[in-house]
Chains A and B, each alone.
Chain A
Amino acid sequence: MAAGTGSGRTISSTFAPVRNYLLAPSWLVIGIFLLVPVLLMLVYSFLTKEFRGGVIWEFSLAAYDQFLFDRGLFGDDPPKIEWAYITIFARSIVQATGATILCLLIGFPTAYYIATRPTKTRAVWLFLVTIPYWVNLLIRTVSMKFLIRDNGPLNDALMGIGLFDSPLQLINTNTAVQLGLFYSYLPFMVLPIYAALERYNFAFSEAASDLYAPKWTILRWILIPVVKPGIIAGCILVFVPSLGAFLAPDLLGGAKTFMIGSLIEEQFKGNAGNWPFGAAASMILLSMVLVVLMFYARAQARDQV
């Protein structure tokens, strides 16, 4: 290892003596206003609820118990498994997985098509994909709601060309939420895959082709394995925010399409909420995300060897 041959690519340490001063503001701000709050949230999830919102400082497992068991109205029935919240979490996972798959199916070919354009037009295509990423998510979700509502433009168009006789009931369905998530996070899938494909050396494909591999075999066994880190990054970037999404299920869905985000939000609105329960649901969501991220970090570490 030629650590000190100094051709400019060694680890630079020009600001090493003042490193701690440079890093301290970010450590302090994020530490105090995010890390401490998350830890506090963990504590809250083990406290007793106060009926006007807020907590009483008494240890309790009630929040987690409520999540898993139904003990009747007065809490003294024999515990039964409470399916309501488990269903909401399961639905969230299914929705997020579905959105991720949809985004991948559309996003990969798009990223590939853009990456294989000549440099000049490539910038334009990329620009077109980037714009929606920068447009306010609320506005985009509202626009989607406007488009797919019962007597909205989409149904007008579908009935106009005679595909359906009566309006397609999309709004307030799981399909609408799925569509909304897919639409919300599609650019998150395209951009990292594009970045990986841009660095892909097409000489690999040519070599495979020279060695008698047909095109789709090249795609499956050469190209996709090489750009896999980009694909995984895209999947994470879609899956994680979809799992905790609030706007799409809230605006496009209804009571039957409830997801984790809406469940949590409900616990903190007005006086009817249950803070420990909301904190517990947040903790469960956070743990799920951390598991996914750890899986990602391990996959990445493996790829780098």
Chain B
Amino acid sequence: MRSRFDIRHYSGFFAITCACLFILYAPLIVVMIYSFNDSLSITTWGGFSLRWYADVFTGPESEKFKLAAWNSLSIAVMAASVATVIATAAAIGMIRGGKFKGKSASFALISLPIMVPEIVTAVATLIFFSAIGFQLGTLSILVAHIVFCIPFAYLPIAARLQGIEASYEEAAQDLYAGRWPTFRYVLMPIMGPGIVSGFLLAFIISLDDFIITNFIKGAGVETLPTAIFGSVKQGIKPNIMALSTLMLVFSIALVTLSYFIGKRGADPDTTA
């Protein structure tokens, strides 16, 4: 029920919103559609087919893709796990550590990986690893991913923790729980949704990364983005569109998951 005098309504904003969503989705939808194209050429439509999906799994490049996917996933799981543990500890230290000297310096350090442009992080990390003679490969990628995943895991965890009243922990301590039981039985379950969101965000960020990985992957190690980038350099092939569509669906599944987790534990303090 919108009245003519609704001061919230500005004409044209709806049209711009639709345009915004169109811009965001058009390229993705076009690629999705063309991934089902039964034609060798990417320009002409040759009817519906799943052949490029089969090609991703069994075609000549399938071994490369499978290995890259395995690298991507295993690095993302490990990097996100480690980053989440570090970020959770940091969030508790920052938000439940009282006032302390160097709090803003500490926050600046934790958010440094977001502040520094990715390409600069990539350059700096490459220089560092080569200077100390660290072998470039899966391990160097993992270390770099842990570093830049920390702030992404930190933000949702800290936001959640800020919304939790300190009286829960005080009640636990008052009821004879030491510091660790207070965390284990009270704080962690209540901040759980924040931890899961932080993990998922870190996981996606690691999975998504191209620039840093590209700099420090060393010879022979590929993740999905670097493998796709390598293929695309020679032109967009239909199997890349099928692979992209699969990754897109995977991402959407993850967002949906995190959305529902976030929704379930939206307000920690609405106990009334």
Contacts and interface: CB of A to CB of B under 8 A. Distances in A.
A86 to B, nearest CB: 19
Contacts of A113: 13-14, 16-17
A244 B117 contact: yes
In terms of DSSP, what is the predominant structure of the interface of chain B? helix
B176 interface: no
A123 B106 CA distance: 34
Interface residues of A, number: 97
B8, B169, B215, B232, most chain A CB atoms within 10 A: B8
Contact of B10 (A44, A112, A132): A112
Interface in A271-304: 275, 278-279, 282, 285-286, 289-290, 293
A120 to B, nearest CB: 12
Contact of B119 (A37, A131, A246): A246
A146 interface: yes
A142 B240 contact: yes
Contact of B43 (A12, A41, A151, A261): A151
B259 A241 contact: no
B92 A22 contact: yes
A74 interface: no
Interface string B89-104: 1101111111110000
A19 B101 CA distance: 12
Given A25-B90, A34-B113, A215-B10, A134 B251 contact: yes
Interface stretch (A65-73, A77-85, A183-191, A225-233): A183-191
A37 B127 contact: yes
Contacts of B272: none
Contacts of A140: 27-28
Interface in B186-217: 204, 207-208, 210-211, 214-215
Interface in A148-182: 151-153, 182
B13 A147 contact: no
B139 interface: no
A151 to B, nearest CB: 5
A59 interface: no
Interface residues of B, number: 95
B124 A40 contact: yes
B27 A183 contact: yes
A139 B248 contact: yes
A128 to B, nearest CB: 6
Contacts of A235: none
Given A29-B86, A38-B120, A129-B24, 20 more contacts: A25-B90, A27-B106, A30-B147, A34-B112, A34-B113, A37-B125, A110-B16, A113-B13, A116-B8, A123-B263, A134-B252, A135-B28, A139-B31, A186-B20, A186-B24, A202-B8, A218-B7, A240-B115, A240-B117, A244-B120
20 contacts: A8-B165, A13-B99, A19-B93, A21-B89, A22-B93, A23-B97, A23-B106, A30-B112, A31-B109, A33-B144, A34-B112, A34-B121, A40-B128, A110-B21, A125-B17, A131-B252, A134-B255, A186-B24, A279-B127, A289-B115
Interface of B: 7-10, 12-14, 16-17, 19-21, 23-28, 30-31, 34, 42-43, 85-87, 89-90, 92-100, 106, 109-110, 112-113, 115-121, 123-128, 130-131, 143-144, 146-148, 150, 154, 165-167, 169-170, 173, 179, 182, 204, 207-208, 210-211, 214-215, 225, 228-229, 232, 236, 240-241, 244, 247-248, 251-252, 254-255, 259, 263
